[in-house]
Structures are given as structure tokens and as C-alpha cells.
Amino acid sequence: MSLPFNVASHLDTALRAAAAELGLTDRGFQPEVRVADPANGDFQANGALAFAKREKLNPRAVGQQLVEKLGALQEQYDISLAGPGFLNFRLKPAALLGWLQTYDSEEHLQTGAASARCGQTWIVDYSSPNTAKQMHVGHLRSAVIGEAICRLLAFSGATVIRDNHIGDWGTQFGKLIWAYRRHLDPAALAADPLEEFERLYKVGNTAAEADPAVLAEAQQELVKLQAGDAGSLAIWKRINDVSLAAFQEIYDRLGIRFDAMLGESFYNDKVGHIYRELAETGLAQPSEGALVVFHPEHPRFAKQPFIIRKKDGAANYASSDLATALYRAEHFKVDGIIVVTDFRQADHFEQLYLTVRKWFAAKNYRLPELHHVTFGSVNGEDGKALKTRDGGIIRLKALLDEAKERSYQLVSVKNPDFPEAERRAIADVVGVASVQYADLSQNRSSDYVFSWDKMISLEGNTAAYLLYAVSRIRSIFRKAGLDANNPMVAGDGGATMPVADAATAPESPQELALARKLVKFSDATQLATTTLRPHFLSLYLYELAGEFSAFYAADKVIVDDPAVRARRLLLCHRTLIELETGLHLLGLRTDLARM
RNA sequence: GCGAGUGUAGCACAAUGGAUAGUGUAGUGGCCUCCGAAGCCAUUGAUCCGGGUUCGACUCCCGGCACUCGCACCA
């Protein structure tokens, strides 16, 4: 019998069956299978400890009974009872080989994984910048983490809708349109539209502060826009169009393509409905002229209002976010909503989701899973928010350019003999990947310290280390004269066959360590997906690359013995597809032959 | 004031209540006639403080301390 994609689930099933035979299931036995420290085995089951404690039994005796019922597993695992009652499972080399033979391509890894969320639809709201402004370093984490989450969800079988909830209806448009009408520089607009819009906004803001008459005119511009004045709308549309085009250049570099761009303006005509429903269900009430929602059962939000309509009658982000939640539930019929923003909006989303739950329950709407995925800020090495040397905001475009340039310098030092075009192409991949990976390799909850040297100098847990492993593997196949995507070797009688068919089971300590790591790919992707924390996958890939590096330092791949050669080529190939699949799931490109 | 997040070696990070708290950098000592040394091997060094729960706590609970952030119409 062959192992499933997720080996831990195989053990879980077997342990539940054993527990049922022993009559432990009714008493609440849970196997608690997890990846083990390699010193102890491949997987461990800790369930006997908690169960024995609760039932006042001897944990080792419970463990022993379970082991005796697991005879059928002994073909594939060495099973042992250790310490106070841990069950340890170590895969036998033949079982490792079997798994590696089965999962032979990115496509088949995907097939193995795509069951958890099969048939589900999830919408992910990320990036979401304001129009008429440059994207800056503060927009990086939402875009990078959001995209990785989208890819992980899709890998687990979900249909994913990527939604860029752009800020295109803010109060900034009054001053901006005022200045646009009077101070537009067409040449500057053509050269760098966002730069020009930012300049115009500053012009409008400064003028409005200096002259109350200008302020009144700017406010009139906003009123005209919101009333649907054709001329104002034309300017507004032009600003948004060029903004989106500029954003798309960044998204192209980050490998992001949205399915929807439903910004705040899209929900403008949908908020009236929200006010009515929340008032009618008794959730919202007037307070100080505004319409607000209190949550009496909540220690803070009993007093801290959720303002859904301002006292001047205008909508705000709460109204718009409520309308957005309803639209996503009704129009897209989603099973889950994920919003990726920084942690400072945690209160807002807690209030929002509390309100949505009560409102949907009152109206009998189907409630999707609601997640607010937060992340910390990007700080400089001084621990404060990242700024340029003169204290300005770092633009995302400039940041990506610098990453590329630094990578180019480094590639040129390491490989002065490569043609310049190739060095540029490598820097293109490595530069962006380094920026993305620096973010994804670390737990999103904490702030992160932005350091060019750590990111690009490329030692330790970095994109370059992983990409280096990828290019080294490709190099081995090149040296052996084989197609890295589908390596074939000569078998008995001269016919060619896939390396997997010619391979024998792993033997050397390094072969075994690498093979053991490879079968845990599914646990890493699953953990990253269920927790919505991509760093679990990053960590796995880093450890995998480390196992590979140790393996090829110890065991020469291109040796004369055909069986040894085939099994080592198999390990190389499977490492390659897992590294590439994993890096693609994180949103990184891996298309380089050497570096 | 109320609340949230974060506190792990000099620095940067990891640890889904499990076994001896892992890694990277920096330091020290090894390894290129050998598939690429952006590499490999070895080694020194840490859980903010005080209680509690648990067979077992970086992890959960209580009380402090430090830093960051949020708290009536910006998103």
C-alpha cells in the first residue's frame, strides 16, 4: 500500500482505527500526530499522554496497546514507544522511495494537496493602496503576504478571488481636483503621473490651508464629484486610471494579477442599504449626530463606537467595509473572506466582524469565515519606521530597483564571466525574490527590521540561498546531460526510463535525511495555509535546501554505479520540484539556470 | 486611563502544550586536483521579571516591567 501525500494523515487514520478497536475512541482519544524532531523519528503521536492522564491510566501501557494494534503499519514504519508515552514513527527507506516515486512534478504535488478546500471560494483583499499616491514601502507587506496566501489557498483546492480594494473615493479628491484644474503640468503628468498627482495634492493642500476661499472651493469640488458632476468624474477617472496603470507596473514585478478591483467608489451607492438594514435590525443607533454600532457585551466596544455614518451624513470606511462584506457574501458567494492589512486596523476589523456576524444572523444571510490577517511594520535598523536617509518615504519602485541593482553588483562579483545580459536577468529574479522572501521568511505578526545586507548579502535564510540550491541542482542535470524537468536514464536492455523507476531506496545518512525532509512538504504547506502564515513554508524550504546542500557536499551524484546514480538523481529532481513549487507558492520566480 | 501586539544568545530570527529551546550572522577551528565555496563540517553563546495551571510551559492563566500601536467621525 502506498503512502498518501500527507503522511501524517495516514498515521492519524491508522491510530484512530487502532484506538477504536481498543474502545478508546468513545472516551475521546485523539492521536495528535505531528512532525517529529529527526532525532526521534519522522512523525510522533502524543495522544496517549493526554488520554492516559485524563483516564487515570499508565501512558506507556496505553501506548503499548496502540503499538500492538498497528502491525499493518510495520511494513512502512519503524514504530517505537519512547519516554513517558510518545509513539515514534520512522519511515523505512523503501516507503520513502515509494512516496518520492509518486510525487514527481509540481502538478502532482498540487493534486495531492488540493483536497482541503476543494469546492470552496475565498476572496482575499490585499495591497489596497490609495489612488493618486505612489506605492511606498508600507504597501509591501500586504501585497507580498496577500499574494502568498492566495497561492496557498489555491494550492489547497480553493477558488481564489484576488480583490484589490483600492482607496479611490477619499476626501483627498476635493483638493486634488481643485489643483488639477488650475496647476496641472502636462509634461510632468506624462513623465510620471503619480509624482504629478502628489505634487498637485500638496499644492491644493497648501493653498487651502493658506486661504479659506480655496478651502471652500475644494470642498465644493468634492461635493460636485460626489453629486456625479460629469467634468469632475472625468478628472477623477483619469486620476484613477493612471494610478492603476502605475500600480500594475509594481504588481507585474511582484507577480501579482488581481481578479477584481472593487474599490471604495464601487460601494458608494451601496451604503444607504447598509444604514437601513443596521437601523432596522436595531444594531445601529444615532449618537452625537452620527450613526453608530455599540457592542454591549464587549469590554471596550460597549463604549467605543463603530461609526458607520458620519454626522455630516457622509459614508466612511466602516460603511464601505460593511457594504463590501455583504457584496462578497452575496455576489461572490464566498466561503471565506481574508483582509490583509497592518495591525493598526485590528480594532476596526474586530468591530466590523462583530457587527457583520450580528447583522448577518439577524437577516439570515449566510456567514462566510471572516479573517483579518495582520502584520507588523517595516522598520529601519534603528528600530523606527523605515525612511530614506533624509527622512522621506521610500517608494516601492525605488526599493525594488535598488534590490535589483544590489543583486546585480553581487552577481557580477561572484560571476564576472557571465554575459552582462544574463547577470541582469539573474539580478531581476534574485532582487525581487530577496525582497519578497525577507518578508515571507518571518512571522508576519512581528515588526521586521529591513536590512539590505541581510536581504541581499544572501547568507542564511534568504531567497538567494534557496535559488542557489535550485541553480545548483539544475547544474547537476546539465552536467549529466539530462533534462532537469524530466530526467531519463538508461535501464536494462538499453531502454530509457524515468530516474524514479531506476532508483533504489536511499541509503547514506545524507540521502536518508534529505528523503525524510522531502516527504514532509505537505505538512509545511498545510500548516502555512491553515494558520495563514507563509513563514512556515519558508522555514521548511530553507531546511530542505540545507538538507540538500549537506547531501551534495557528502554524496557525489554523478557516479558510475547506475542504481546509486539514479537514486541520487531522483533526490535531486524531487528537491528541485519541491523548492520550485514552494517558492512559487510564496510568489517568487525561480526561472534561472545558474546564478 | 482602557485595550492590542511584541519581548528568545552581541545582532536578526524559529519553535502547531511535548523529548536535550532550533537556525543565521558575528567569533573560533577545519574543508576547493573532486557534479559551482553565494557552499559544507565542527564549536562558543539565549526564553523580560514574579507567581500559577499541567505528567510536561517560550507557548496557557494572573500580576508587573519595557517598546510599538489603537481608542468619535482618516483608512
- How confident is the model over A154-193, as pLDDT tens digits? 999 999 999 999 999 887 898 999 999 999 999 999 898 8
| CB A53 within 7 Å, strand B | yes
For the record, the C-alpha cell of A291 comes out as 450613526
For residue A219, pLDDT over 90 is answered with no
Q: Does one domain contain both A34 and A62?
A: yes
pLDDT tens figures, A500-524: 999 999 999 999 999 999 999 999 9
Q: Is residue A450 domain-shared with residue A468, that is, in the same domain?
A: no
**Which one of A184, A207, A235 terminates a domain?**
A235
The answer on A78 and A33 residing in a single domain is: yes
Cell numbers placing A537: 513554508
Q: Are A564 and A473 contained in the same domain?
A: yes
> Is A161 within the bounds of a domain?
no
DSSP string for A250-284: HHHHHT---SB---GGGGGGGHHHHHHHHHHTT-E
Q: Are A451 and A475 in the same domain?
A: no
Do the domain assignments include residue A297? Answer: no
Model confidence at A232: pLDDT above 70: yes
Question: Residues near A120 by Cβ (< 8 Å), separated by ≥ 6?
Answer: A157, A158, A159, A335, A336
Q: Looking at residue A85, what is its pLDDT?
A: 94
Enter the ipTM: 0.96
Residues contacting residue A19 through CB under 8 Å, at least 6 positions apart: A25, A29, A31, A47, A66
Count Cβ atoms within 10 A of the Cβ of residue A394 and give its class: 0-12 exposed, 13-18 middle, 19 or more buried: buried
A361: pLDDT strictly greater than 90: yes
Both A433 and A494 in a single domain?
no
Mean pLDDT score of chain A, rounded to an integer? 94
Is residue A301 situated within a structural domain?
A: no
pLDDT at A472: 96
Is the pLDDT score of A1 beyond 70? no
- For residue A81, the Cα-to-chain-centroid distance in whole angstroms is 37
Within this chain, do residues A478 and A574 fall inside the same structural domain, yes or no? yes
Q: Is A580 found in the same domain as A468?
A: yes
Domain boundary, last residue among A70, A91, A112: A91
A426 touches strand B (CB under 7 A): yes
Structure-model confidence comparison of residues A340 and A455, the more confident one: A340
Same-domain status, A436 and A491: no
Phi then psi dihedrals of residue A454, to 5 deg: -70, -35
In a domain, A494, yes or no: yes
Cβ of residue A173 lies below 7 Å from strand B: no
Task: Give A344 CA → B66 C1' in Å.
Answer: 20
Per the domain annotation, does A82 fall within a domain? yes
Final residue before a domain boundary, out of A456, A478, A505: A456
Nearest in space to A451 (alpha carbons), one of A467, A464, A468, A439: A439
In a domain, A28, yes or no: yes
Same domain, A540 and A446: no
The nt closest to A547 (CA vs C1′) is B40
The total number of structural domains that make up chain A = 4
Model confidence at A243: pLDDT above 80 = yes
Question: Which region among A279-293, A305-319, A380-394, A444-458 has the lowest average model confidence (pLDDT)?
Answer: A380-394
Same domain, A519 and A581: yes
Angstrom distance (rounded) from CA A576 to CA A314:
55
Q: Are residues A512 and A559 in the same domain?
A: yes
Any atom of strand B under 7 A from CB of A317? yes
Q: Which domain holds residue A539?
A: 463-585
* Dist. CA A136–CA A176, nearest whole Å: 19
- Alpha-carbon separation of residue A9 from A12, A45, A114, A373 (angstroms): 5, 11, 14, 27
Mean pLDDT check: name the lowest of A135-144, A385-394, A475-484: A385-394
A302 touches strand B (CB under 7 A): no
Looking across all nucleic acid strands, the nucleotide with the smallest C1' to CA distance from residue A545 is B39
What would the mean pLDDT of A437-465 be, rounded to a whole number? 91
Q: How far apart are CA A446 and CA A459, in angstroms?
A: 22
Is A356 domain-assigned?
no
Whether residue A510 lies inside any domain: the answer is yes
Residue A418, CA: closest nucleotide via C1'?
A: B36
Q: Does A84 contact strand B, using a CB cutoff of 7 Å?
A: yes
For strand B, give the nucleotides within 7 A of a protein CB. Answer: 2-7, 12-20, 23-26, 34-36, 38-41, 54-56, 67-75
Domain containing A519 — which CATH number? Answer: 1.10.730.10
